[in-house]
Structure 1
Amino acid sequence: MSTELINRITVKKDGVYVSSHSSNDTSPYHSWRCRGLSEIYAAEGQKGLDREVIRMLYEYAELRGSHKSLERYRYAKDTPAARAVYQKYMDNIDDRYGQMDEADQKSVWYKPTEKAKEYRAYERDMREKMYSEIAERCGEYDRKQKNKDLER
């Protein structure tokens, strides 16, 4: 399974552009308009974009390089506070899984029982809340940067 390596995220008038390449690909980074992120940005603004980028970083992408567009996402994801948020939600998900009997657990990904379906809905909800909570730290980063700029 490959990982999407991202070295820049840029918001332009016509959408959100990502410079990336696959970890199992030797070609250089290339910039492309990401339709999904562009649609979310158009509908929800920066807050929605931040949540979706954080989701990508937890599910299938990594940040590479030192472009300033990545710093806010590193700040949001790679701090002890973010790890604590992640652990809190993963513990909740694990606890819910542990409350199911073995037959329900075995059916989570194949022909799910009602209990397994409830668990998967709960897991989706918890992950959504986790990504949103971690993404809020991007705004915190922006405020800190703005204050630094005002002090100069």
Structure 2
Amino acid sequence: MSTELINHITVKKDVVYLSSHSSNDTAPFHSWRCSGLSEVYDAEGQKGLDREIIRMLYEYAQLRGSHKSLDRYRYAKDSPEALAIYKKYSDQIELRYEGMEKADKDNLWGHPTEKAKEYRQFESDMRDKMYSEIAVKCGEYDRKHRSRDLER
């Protein structure tokens, strides 16, 4: 399984561009229009974009390089608060999973039982909340750096 390596994130005229490549690809980084992130940005603004980039970083992507567009996401994901938030929601998901009957656990995907469907919805909801809470740290990063820039 490959990981998407991201070395630059840009928003121009409400369109989100990523500079990235797959971890199992030897080609150089390339910039491309990310329609999924652009749609989220159009619908929800910066908060939605931050949440979805944080989701990517937890599920299938990594930041590479030192471009300033990555700093806010590094700050959010690597903060001690993010670790505590991740643990809080992961523990809730795990507790819910452990409380399920074996038959429901065995049928999470192929032909899910009603309890398995409920668990999958719960897990999805908890992940959305987790990513949203962690993404708030991006705004905190912006506020800290905006005030530093004003002091200069």
Q: Which interval holds the TM-score relative to the shorter structure? A: over 0.9
Show CA shifts across 1:27-74 (max 9, x none). Answer: 000000100111111111100100000010011100000000000000
2:7 matched residue in structure 1: 7
1:150 matched residue in structure 2: 150
Q: Does 2:96 correspond to 1:101? A: no
> What SS is found at the alignment partner of 1:87?
helix
Q: Give the letter aligned to residue 29 of structure 2.
A: Y
1:59 matched residue in structure 2: 59
- Equivalent pairs counted in the alignment come to 152
> What SS is found at the alignment partner of 1:143?
helix
2:141 matched residue in structure 1: 141
Quote the offset at 1:106 in angstroms.
1.0
2:129 matched residue in structure 1: 129
Quote the offset at 1:5 in angstroms.
0.1
> What SS is found at the alignment partner of 2:32?
strand
1:112 matched residue in structure 2: 112
Q: Residues 14 and 41 of structure 2 are in contact (CA less than 8 Å); yes or no, is this contact kept in structure 1?
A: no
> What SS is found at the alignment partner of 1:128?
helix
Label 1:14 to 1:80 Cα distance change in 2 as closer, same or farther (>3 A). closer
Quote the offset at 1:110 in angstroms.
2.1
C-alpha separation in 1, matches of 2:9 and 2:122: 31
Q: Give the letter aligned to residue 89 of structure 1.
A: Y
Show CA shifts across 1:65-100 (max 9, x none). Answer: 000000000000011110110010000000000111
CA RMSD after TM alignment: 0.7
C-alpha separation in 1, matches of 2:90 and 2:130: 9
Q: Does 2:46 correspond to 1:23? A: no
2:91 matched residue in structure 1: 91
> What SS is found at the alignment partner of 1:9?
strand
1:50 matched residue in structure 2: 50
Show CA shifts across 1:98-123 (max 9, x none). Answer: 11111111111221111000000000
- Kindly, what percent of the aligned residue pairs are identical? 74
Quote the offset at 1:14 in angstroms.
5.0
Structure 2, unpaired ranges of 5+: none
C-alpha separation in 1, matches of 2:136 and 2:81: 12
Structure 1, unpaired ranges of 5+: none
Which runs of at least 4 in structure 1 moved beyond 3 Å after TM superposition? none
Normalising by structure 2, we get a TM-score of: 0.98
